[in-house]
Amino acid sequence: MSSAPRPLPDLAVEIVGLNKVYGGSGKRKPKQALKDFSLEIPRGSFFGLLGPNGAGKSTMINIMAGLVNKSSGTVRIWNHDIDAEVRNARCAIGVVPQELNLDPFFTAREALEVQAGLYGVPKPERHTQEILEAVGLADKADAYARTLSGGMRRRLLVAKALVHAPPVVVLDEPTAGVDVQLRQQLWEYIRKLNRCGTTVVLTTHYLEEAEELCDRIAIINHGQLVACDTTHALLRQLDNKSVTLILSQPLTEIPEALQRFSPTLPQPTELHINYRPSSRAMMEILDAARGCGLPIVDIRTEEVDLEDIFLQLTRAPAPAERAAS
Ligand SMILES: Nc1ncnc2c1ncn2[C@@H]1O[C@H](COP(=O)(O)OP(=O)(O)OP(=O)(O)O)[C@@H](O)[C@H]1O
Ligand SMILES: [Mg+2]
């Protein structure tokens, strides 16, 4: 008798009311790393988890991976509760931890084979060679992990997370210390996985990387979620752009017709205007500039980027630690 296949979940990860308090000892006070933290990661997304050092990103990821015990709250991976359905939840996720934790006495190939064995992947279904190539380690397949460079070890960790072809792949700063070319290669492969349906969750301190890769972004600060939206909507949140008009002749004073835009003259041949795209179109500024005969030879515009939003949202000081009750 064949059972009907389970429908695919809408959410790859669902976190509700998650709390984590690391216990103190001696002079070390207990630390609440996650506070009533809830997050939904839609199936198929390329999800960025951003936040300053110590925000709680790795804590959240390590709880998802079963490496850290939560204090309270629920976490479901691919619709499997991490407490009630440990095995299913673990099989649904592949985690690249931030800490390098490789067995130095295995070669790269052995490390992947052992990992595949742990997850019960039958030999004919393993794709060790393909993964080694994807992470740029094919020529190091038979080298011991201890002989690999830092960047190569990190790539081997990425490879290990992929052996059981999990529907959810979580990468905790996978490109820290990886050189530019291999970073591109790594992302190309992860993108391909994502296009084929794998949900990807990543943390990175390279905000440009997140902006380029992720379709959704959550920002976490002091253990709490401070923003979660599509990358596009987040970027739109800061209603601020600037335009610089480059002039062929120096300007001695700002024309009357442009005063309402509150321009500045950082240089005699550069007129700079900040504006809100929601209330003022750039054409309005350009028409006014042309109307007063400014000799414009070039235009430079600047958009807000993720870094502006990130800095704005994470500048808040740490809330006073609640007294241990
Ligand atoms: N094992 C631990 N014992 C005690 N405190 C811990 C432990 N692990 C993390 N913390 C604390 O919990 C907080 C969150 O740490 P976490 O590693 O989750 O941050 P993060 O967002 O991953 O930071 P980073 O960007 O530096 O990797 C920090 O204040 C950290 O000092
Ligand atoms: Mg971390």
What are the pLDDT digits (tens) for 106-163? 999 999 999 999 999 999 999 999 999 988 999 999 999 999 988 888 889 999 999 9
- Domains of the chain with bracketed CATH: 11-92+166-235 (3.40.50.300), 239-303 (3.30.70)
Element (H, E) at 79: none
Q: What pLDDT score does 7 carry?
A: 85
Whether 146 contacts 152, CB under 8 Å:
no
CB 254 within 8 A of CB 262: no
Mean pLDDT (whole number) for 159-182: 90
- Residue 321's pLDDT is what? 46
pLDDT in tens, 62-111: 999 999 999 999 999 999 999 999 999 999 999 998 888 888 889 999 99
In the predicted model, is pLDDT for residue 310 greater than 90? Answer: no
69-78, 188-197, 238-247, 260-269, range with the lowest pLDDT: 238-247
Instruction: Judge whether residue 196 has pLDDT over 70.
Output: yes
Query: How confident is the model over 235-262, as a mean pLDDT?
Result: 88
pLDDT of residue 2: 53
| CA atoms of 234 and 308, how far apart (whole Å) | 11
Inform me whether the pLDDT recorded for 167 exceeds 80: yes
Structure tokens, 298: 């070039």
| Inter-CA distances, 232 with 93, 126, 290, Å | 27, 37, 32
Give the pLDDT of residue 306.
79
Residue 214: exposure state from Cβ atoms within 10 A (0-12, 13-18, ≥19): buried
| Amino acid at site 163 | V
**Residue 311 to residue 67: CA distance in whole angstroms:** 30
Binned at pLDDT 50, 70 and 90, residue 225 comes out as very high
Ligand nearest to the CA of 34: 1
Distance 63 CA to ligand 1 centre (A): 12
Contact of 225 with 38, CB cutoff 8 Å: yes
Please give all residues whose CB falls under 5 A of ion ligand 2, grouped by chain where several chains appear. 57-58, 98
Segment among 51-55, 254-258, 299-303, 308-312 with least mean pLDDT: 308-312
pLDDT value at residue 271:
94
Task: Please report the beta strands in the chain, taking only residues with DSSP state E, as ranges in sequence order.
Answer: 11-22, 31-42, 46-50, 72-77, 80-81, 93-96, 168-172, 199-203, 216-221, 224-230, 241-247, 264-267, 270-275, 296-302
Taking residue 121's Cβ as centre, other Cβ atoms within 10 Å add up to 18
- pLDDT of 16: 98
Higher pLDDT, 71 or 253: 71
With cut-offs at 50, 70 and 90, classify the pLDDT of residue 175.
Answer: confident
Q: Which of 20, 28, 31, 63 to mutate to test the pocket of ligand 1 (most atoms within 8 A of CB)?
A: 31
| 32, 57, 100, best to mutate for ligand 1 pocket (most atoms within 8 Å of CB) | 57
Pocket of ligand 1 (CB under 6 A): 22, 31, 33, 51, 53-59, 98
Residue 292 CA to ligand 2 centre (angstroms): 54
pLDDT (0 to 100) of residue 283: 87
% of residues, the chain, pLDDT over 70: 95
pLDDT at 319: 59
In whole angstroms, what is the distance from residue 106 CA to residue 264 CA?
Answer: 62
Ligand closest to 50 (CA) is 1
Tell me which residue of 121, 40, 37, 35 sits closest to 79, measured CA to CA.
40
What is the model's pTM?
Answer: 0.81
pLDDT at 325 over 70: no
Q: Which of 84, 320, 61 is nearest to 174 (CA)?
A: 61
- Name the more confident of 76 and 251: 76
Strand 46-50 to strand 199-203: parallel, antiparallel, or no bridges (unpaired)?
A: parallel
Instruction: Determine the Cα–Cα distance for residues 145 and 102; give it in Å rounded to an integer.
Output: 7
> What mean pLDDT, rounded, does the chain reach?
90
